[in-house]
Amino acid sequence: MRYVCALTIAGSDCSGGAGIQADIKTMSALGVYATTAITSITIQNTMGVQQVKVVSPMIVAKQIKAVMDDIKPIVIKIGMVHDYATIHAIADTLQHYPNRIIVIDPIMLSSSGHTLMQPEALDLFCHSLVPIASLLTPNIPEAEILSNMAINSIEDMDISAQKILSLGCKAVLIKGGHQDGDRKADRLYTPNSSVQTFIHETINTRNTHGTGCTLSSAITSYMARGLNLPDAIAQAKDYLSHALEAGKDIYIGEGHGAVNHLFNPEKLIIL
């Protein structure tokens, strides 16, 4: 017997709403044993990011190797990677563990506008990590950076997605959370396939800190549980909507609080 497990490679959020902390909460709530490799330590709270301290790339690589050699998760999430050396270390280490499902949340800007990926690291990110991604989950501002174009319409989103797919990833989910209106649409693109759209109602809350981390971790979890990509996304969207609804009126901090990751936690799944 063994637990269903996953690895998250991401930064730490001391306020508990995003990053590694959100990943662990999400995976645990969905019955998945969470392992981690911490890439950076952030100083942040619900008001915004104040500082980022990078963990030594050698230590990042050794964390990944320690987990992969022993626990052997088959699904990996990559979140915040801040600098060139860390991206290089992650890509170099993961090449020794082929045939993994890799979900990448390309975190480049915080919700408060703080830059979370150094500009000089972007090219390496696009050429070393994006091509190994089973799924890339950019929001609209991140998709604009990756495709080097503005997105002001669904048609723009479609063009942007094709540019991102040309970088080599197997699929891209462009999230529509920055859209106005009472309904939001996320769109899944794969090479030589029709677009799949996931519609959800807008939930009126200021507690949206870490929603991107939560969604990508939920997708990772459901894929670790054996779901195919579209079904994993649909289930993850449902989980996030419930977490937003459960936490929408809770006061936690002076700014954008976290979702309620643990509104209905499952027991760890044993195979």
Exposed, middle or buried by CB within 10 Å (0-12, 13-18, 19+), for 152? exposed
| Domain-embedded: residue 56 | yes
| Domain-embedded: residue 254 | no
| Domain-embedded: residue 268 | no
Count of structural domains within the chain: 1
| Cα-based torsion angle of the residue sequence 117, 120, 124, 125 in order, rounded to the nearest 10 degrees | 20
CA dist 178 to 142, 174, 215, 237, Å?
11, 11, 15, 15
Q: Which residues are catalytic?
A: 175, 208, 210-213
For the stretch 141-174, pLDDT in tens is: 999 999 999 999 999 999 999 999 999 999 999 9
| Domain-embedded: residue 109 | yes
| Domain-embedded: residue 262 | no
| Domain-embedded: residue 82 | yes
CATH of the domain at 60: 3.40.1190.20
| Number of neighbouring beta carbons within 10 Å of residue 216 | 29
For the stretch 67-107, pLDDT in tens is: 999 999 999 999 999 899 999 999 999 999 999 999 999 98
What sign does the CA torsion over 246, 250, 252, 254 have? positive
Q: 204 lies in which domain range?
A: 5-247
| Domain-embedded: residue 172 | yes
| Domain-embedded: residue 90 | yes
The H or E element containing residue 103 is: strand 101-104
Q: What is the mean pLDDT of the chain?
A: 94
